[in-house]
Structures are given as C-alpha cells and as structure tokens.
Amino acid sequence: MKKEIINIALENLQKTTGIEGFWQDKDELDGCLNLKTATRKFTLVVQFKNEIRQHQLHQIIRLNNQYENFILVANRIFPNLKEELRMQEIPYLEANGNLFLKKGDTFLFIDTNEPISVGKEKGNRAFTKTGLKVLFHLLQNKDDINLPQRELANLTNVGLGNIPQVIEGLKETGYLLRLDDKTYAWENRRELLDRWVTEYKTVLKPKLKKERFGIAGNWKDIIFDNGLTVWGGEPAADLLTNYLRPEKYIIYTKENRIELMKNYRLMPKPEGEIEILEMFWEQPKHQQTAPPILVYAELVLEGGKRNKETAEIIFNEYIQPNL
C-alpha cells in the first residue's frame, strides 16, 4: 500500500506540474524521494502515512527537526492539518499530487487537486475492540508477546482464539516480525502507539462510556486504592506530573453506580464534570491513576497546548523507556 500510494503521488505530481520524481525504498524512515524541477534536484527522507491525525503532528514535527531534508507523503491530509504543516514549514506530498516544499530559494505549493482514494486497508483484528485491549497490554509489556498464547489471553482477559488473530494482524501491518517458531521481534512501536491512540478514540473508547457524575468539593480529596477505580485524563496527568491543572475529569471504574455514590460521594448528573468510563484492564491496588499510556492518549486526543506539553512529559518519563 505504501509503495502504491507514493508512486501514484509522484505520477499525479508530474501530470500537474511536470516535476519528475522517484522513490527509493531505503532503511532511513520510509525511504528517499528524489524530485527534479527545471532548476533544482532534491533528495528527501520520507515519512509515509495513509492519513494524518492531529495527535501525530508532534511526531512529524520531531522528525522534521531531526532530518534536514524531510518530507511527509500521505494518501490524504485534511485542510486544517495541511495549514499547520505549512506553518511549521514541513514539506508534504499527497496522493493527488498536491505539494508543499519550501527549501532555500525554492517554494512549491500546489493545492488545487481534489482528494482521491487509493484503496483501503482490509479489516485487521489487531485494531478491533478486543485487539486494542491486547495491544494496550503489549505496549506496556513488550516481552509478553513471546509468552504462551494462553497466558497472554489470561493476562489481557480476552478469549484464547483472539490472540493468534491479533498476532497475525500485527505481522500484516509490519509491527511484528517472526524470528523463529516461538519468538517475535517488534518494529516501529512508536508508530504502533500512535495508531493505538487513533483507534482507541474511534473503536474502543465509545464502547467504554457509562454516564456522567458530579463532584462535591476538591477532586484530590477522593482516594482510590482498591484497584477498581482510578483517575484518567487530566486529573491523572496532574497526579503523574504536577504540571497540569485539570479542567475535564475522567474516571475509569469497575464499580457500579451505587458503589461510586457510596464510596466516593459522587452523584449521577447528566451534565456532570466527570466522565465515567469502564475499566478494561487489571489495575494494581493502591494506584490512583490509569496506566500512563492511557493518560497520554487522553491528553493527545483532548488537545490544547498545556495538554500536549504534559503528554510529552508523560511520554518521555513513563512510556518511552519501556516502548
């Protein structure tokens, strides 16, 4: 799919502008793109994405800073994201031939071609509701991919039959490589985390929503220590970093409405400030926050300057060392 989209993009670019280009599949990121205008030649390091989501921008900005001659190639980039990329002066090329490139005295900007669809990835069991629960565990415990499948199923609380389907899905998308009959090695786990965040928003999170509650008094006075209920989102981020003052509140729980009311003096309220979500993992007792990966995901999805900064702190301190 990557090769197909890049070649279609180059073909459409030449039709639109006369600019010639070819792609080389090299080890550096997703290869190199060679572009030739009437007066200049460019060799650019490619990061390929099918579609760009808001939460991926920080990674793209980081890569642009890391690689002097960077370009993003994508099937489609939504207008608001293209505007942000241009503000950051990040080169991009879409499958329809639209291009932005500002290098030295060269400025190329084409934005007149209509979006096209280059095909769609087939359903992948690694990114279903069940698959995302398994990935949530594996993103935190990368060595567990080589456990017996029955043990991994027990740890993630999913049916045994789901595990080989998730593994196959990860192999199909290039995140997992087989070393021998019993051993796998990971590839591109940062990219896998970004995709998990995107799929969590659309596939898993909507299935977790329960109701909203109101809170009386200071949220920090509520103590969770039974492994059944924890803070998520901004409150959890504040507890982890002491950097963010919460404005929106998330609680993950396995307790029912009556238990929440009795144990924490929370009150059901349709427009309440606390969003209650089902806890889908096994939580150690005496921990007040959801796992950092989930806190990170909520901050990225909520957006905002302060949330993004806090998400970066959580990623660097809690996630990257084990990723």
Map out the domains of the chain with their CATH numbers. 2-110 (3.40.1350), 125-187 (1.10.10.10), 204-322 (no CATH)
pTM of the predicted protein model:
0.69
In the chain, which stretches have pLDDT less than 70? Answer: 1, 117-123
Number of neighbouring beta carbons within 10 Å of residue 229: 22
Quick one: tokens of 110? Answer: 């084409």
DSSP H or E segment with residue 94: strand 92-94
Number of neighbouring beta carbons within 10 Å of residue 129: 16
Tell me what pLDDT residue 4 has: 79
- What's the CA gap between 213 and 235, in Å, rounded? 15
Which tens digit of pLDDT belongs to each residue from 160-205? 999 999 999 998 888 898 888 789 999 889 989 998 998 999 999 9
Which tens digit of pLDDT belongs to each residue from 257-302? 999 999 999 999 999 999 999 999 999 999 999 999 999 999 999 9
The greatest distance separating any two alpha carbons of the chain, rounded to the nearest whole angstrom, comes to: 74
Tell me what pLDDT residue 38 has: 83
User: What dihedral do alpha carbons 248, 249, 250, 253 form, nearest 10°?
Assistant: -170
Is 101 within 8 Å of 107 (Cβ atoms)?
Answer: yes
Q: Phi-psi region for residue 304, left (φ > 0), alpha (ψ -120 to 50) or beta?
A: left
Tell me what pLDDT residue 188 has: 86
Q: Across all residues in the chain, what is the average pLDDT?
A: 91
Residue type, 184: Y
